[in-house]
């Protein structure tokens, strides 16, 4: 979505987030794990705001067998 930028390398995907809600972040991580078979290997997030109005920004690095499979194709 508009709050994310994706950079792919041979064995990892780096996602830079800017001002996403906790709900959107949780849904996205779940979809990455289930659909793309990727798991977070490093996460650096900062919360901005309080409680229900909080937004998250930072970096999530994902890796998994799906990346290796894509490279082999």
Per-position pLDDT tens, the chain of length 73: 678 899 988 889 999 999 999 999 999 888 888 887 888 999 999 999 988 789 999 999 999 877 755 544 3
CB 12 within 8 Å of CB 67: yes
CB 6 within 8 Å of CB 59: no
Please give the model's pTM, rounded to 2 decimal places. Answer: 0.78
- Three-state DSSP at 48 gives strand
Report which secondary-structure segment, H or E, holds 68. helix 65-72
Can you give the pLDDT at residue 19? 94
Can you give the pLDDT at residue 71? 47
Can you give the pLDDT at residue 20? 94
Closest CA to 13 of 62, 66, 70: 62
């Amino acid at each position: 979505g508009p709050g994310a930028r994706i950079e792919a390398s041979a064995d990892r995907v780096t996602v830079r987030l800017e001002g996403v809600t906790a709900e959107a972040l949780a849904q996205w991580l779940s979809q990455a794990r289930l659909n793309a078979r990727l798991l977070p290997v490093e996460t650096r997030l900062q919360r901005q705001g309080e409680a229900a109005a909080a937004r998250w920004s930072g970096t999530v690095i994902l890796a998994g067998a799906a990346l290796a499979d894509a490279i082999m194709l």
